């Protein structure tokens, strides 16, 4: 994709203070189902809408898009510590969050995973954005897309094609221009050490095997998520165990697109920012991301974190950085 520079400075590594970034109150959330007509078929996207009763009007809305092998609980895990909930942090600052299960994930419609492309998933999200812009949640001052990994790819497509999107936040996805020297990566596109296959057919996992849609999907191999999505010492052991328990699937078509490098990632002309964990094995192919992208301003690097920033011990640093960036771009709630 075309590189869209968002910083004029030298590359940044975040070292923000965490004091005062976590409040005690839980976000006010309500489940919602978006009904959509998608290429002549009726589909539904499950969501939690949070902060609507406390946010100043008109609302600043963040649409949250999880990555592959996760569902919407990535952004608001059922874990006894609000530090790991982006939903909690955002609603405390006055944002409304629309936390979606993407098409093919969680409680949303599960089409044939062999044909569920990023483009099709983006059409579903774009339809949700249109509903929000039309007043589904009341007047919206602005709509921000916030996507992790594969959700970031979907966010890029929607942002580039839907004029109702005001800004784009992406994490766990490299933002490199054409011709970038890939350097000395280990060539395995991240993931576990050589010889360990990170994915297996969903039909081979008892959690999904009985589902009618399972044939079109993959999931993570048992107990490999800490090596795929994290780095040693960057995630609490109980949270890692919970993540394994809550694992979801990946549409085969999405996984094929990523593994082949053939994903079309159009450029968004509005404000955008990209965050990477320092030890993101997927985005940086086994390298230290700060070293891999030294001398560039394409990303903000979050120290001591892996691919899945929200579940890392550095999550509050990432959260605070997004709010600072939004404020810099005039997208802070008027509290």
Element (H, E) at 317: helix 315-328
What's this model's pTM, rounded to 2 decimal places?
Answer: 0.90
**Do residues 72 and 128 touch, judged by C-beta distance below 8 A?**
no
Looking at the domain that runs over 29-175+197-329, which CATH code has it been given?
3.40.50.1820
Q: What is the pLDDT along the chain (335 residues), one digit of tens a residue?
A: 222 233 323 344 444 333 333 333 466 899 999 999 999 999 999 999 999 999 999 999 999 999 999 999 999 999 999 999 999 999 999 999 999 999 999 999 999 999 999 999 999 999 999 999 999 999 999 999 999 999 999 999 999 999 999 999 999 999 977 655 555 444 433 444 445 679 999 999 999 999 999 999 999 999 999 999 999 999 999 999 999 999 999 999 999 999 887 667 888 999 999 999 999 999 998 899 999 998 888 999 999 999 999 999 999 999 999 999 999 999 999 87
**Do residues 267 and 155 touch, judged by C-beta distance below 8 A?**
no
Q: Which residues contact 232 (CB under 8 A, 6 or more apart)?
A: none
d(CA 34, CA 131): 9
């Amino acid at each position: 994709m075309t590189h869209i520079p968002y910083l004029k400075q030298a590359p940044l590594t975040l070292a923000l203070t965490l004091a005062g970034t976590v409040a005690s109150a839980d976000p006010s959330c309500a489940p919602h189902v978006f009904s959509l007509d998608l290429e002549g078929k009726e589909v539904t996207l499950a969501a939690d809408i949070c902060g609507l009763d406390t946010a100043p009007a008109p609302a600043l809305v963040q649409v949250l898009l999880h990555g592959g092998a996760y569902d919407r609980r990535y952004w608001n895990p059922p874990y006894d510590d609000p530090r790991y909930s982006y939903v909690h942090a955002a609603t405390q600052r006055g944002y409304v969050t629309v936390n979606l299960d993407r098409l093919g994930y969680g409680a949303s419609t599960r089409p044939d995973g062999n044909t569920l492309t990023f483009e099709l998933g983006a059409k579903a999200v774009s339809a949700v954005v249109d509903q929000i812009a039309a007043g589904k949640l009341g007047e919206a001052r602005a709509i921000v897309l916030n996507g992790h990994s594969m959700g970031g790819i979907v966010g890029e497509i929607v942002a580039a094609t839907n004029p109702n999107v005001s800004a784009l936040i992406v994490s766990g996805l490299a933002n490199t221009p054409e011709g970038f020297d890939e350097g000395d990566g280990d060539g395995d596109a991240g993931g576990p050490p050589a010889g360990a296959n990170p994915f297996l057919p969903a039909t081979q996992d008892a959690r999904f095997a009985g589902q009618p849609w399972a044939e079109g999907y993959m999931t993570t191999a048992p107990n490999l998520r800490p090596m795929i999505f994290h780095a040693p010492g960057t995630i609490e052991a109980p949270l890692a165990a919970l993540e394994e328990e809550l694992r979801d699937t990946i549409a085969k078509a999405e996984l094929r697109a990523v593994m082949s490098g053939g994903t079309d990632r159009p450029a968004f002309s509005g404000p955008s920012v990209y965050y990477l964990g320092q030890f993101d094995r997927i985005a940086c192919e086994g390298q230290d991301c700060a070293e891999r992208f030294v001398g560039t301003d394409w990303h903000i690097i979050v120290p001591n974190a892996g691919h899945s920033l929200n579940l890392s011990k550095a999550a509050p640093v990432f959260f605070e950085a997004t709010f600072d960036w939004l404020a810099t771009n005039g997208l802070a709630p008027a509290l």
